[in-house]
Amino acid sequence: MKESENLEIEHVKKIFQIKDVSFEVLTDIDLKIRAGEFISIVGASGCGKSTLARMIAGLEKPTDGEIKIGGKRVEKPSVHIGMVFQEARLFPWLTVEKNIAFGIHEKLPAEEKKKLVAEHIKMVGLENFEKALPGQLSGGMQQRVSIARALINHPAVLLLDEPFGALDALTRIHMQNGILKIWEQEKTTMILITHDIDEAIFLSDRIFVMGKNPGEIKKEIRVDLARPRGRNSYDFVNIRRAIYQEFFENSEVEIEYYL
């Protein structure tokens, strides 16, 4: 990944208008993310996490401020930014390999396309399922297909908006290990939105905790722990505690009962 592919979010604000009422959903979001970094965004429901992701993906425009990748302003969706959602959003009538090939932007000879698809199927561990239809796969396998499809154009940034939210706890852990391997191999900048604090600590270089009304970055937490990370290590538990403390600040909840 080149130094020039840093992601800059500069004083971004988002106001939504519903009839005559405007809602300031995000205020003054200012983040610099280095090329190849893994960051997570956590925060209460409705604080604007998905809105921020949609703006980074070029699906929504900031009301104020700007978002740049490699110094170039994001104006619309492009192949430089991949996105994975909570649901896999696959074409049910296409096989695994055709779903993945569908995302290829470049005009390539059929042989090269085939090779690229095969590489990505291997990357997400779905060898032998090339000809399967989405309905013949488990939820975790479907999500692997959508990750492969999002990576096929080698995007500078991969946005993961609660990608494992619908999966059971064990499958989540497998998926987290998988995404870590892909990140180490591909060095794609990863932006993960999650409600799972342990997932954020397990994966990220930095975690941003958001507050709401309006949505803002309340705290940045650096995770300086070697990978793979033990989820019950002293340092891991301390970071978990610091994040919960941010969440429950000014609330009646006695956090010691929860940790």
SS (H, E, C) 66-101: EEEECCEECCCCCCCEEEECCCCCCCCCCCHHHHHH
- Measured from the CB atom, the residue of 18 and 170 that comes closer to ligand ATP is 18
Q: Determine, following the binding rule CB under 6 A, whether residue 209 of this chain makes contact with ligand ATP.
A: no
Among the listed residues 12, 29, 40, 48, the single contact to ligand ATP using CB under 6 A = 48
Among the listed residues 12, 31, 40, 49, the single contact to ligand ATP using CB under 6 A = 49
SS (H, E, C) 134-171: HHHCCHHHHHHHHHHHHHCCCCCEEEEECCCCCCCHHH
By CB atoms closer than 10 A (0-12, 13-18, 19+), residue 252 is exposed
- Which conformational region is residue 110 in: left (phi greater than 0), alpha (psi within -120 to 50 degrees), or beta? alpha
Please report how close the Cβ of residue 234 comes to ligand ATP at its closest, in angstroms: 30
Q: Determine, following the binding rule CB under 6 A, whether residue 47 of this chain makes contact with ligand ATP.
A: yes
Q: Determine, following the binding rule CB under 6 A, whether residue 117 of this chain makes contact with ligand ATP.
A: no
Please report how close the Cβ of residue 215 comes to ligand ATP at its closest, in angstroms: 7
Please report how close the Cβ of residue 132 comes to ligand ATP at its closest, in angstroms: 30
Among the listed residues 2, 19, 45, 71, the single contact to ligand ATP using CB under 6 A = 45
Place of tokens 């998926």: 175
Q: Determine, following the binding rule CB under 6 A, whether residue 21 of this chain makes contact with ligand ATP.
A: no
**What is d(CA 101, CA 88) in angstroms, rounded to the nearest whole number?**
15
- Measured from the CB atom, the residue of 89 and 113 that comes closer to ligand ATP is 89
Binding site for ligand ATP (CB under 6 A): 16, 18, 25, 43, 45-51
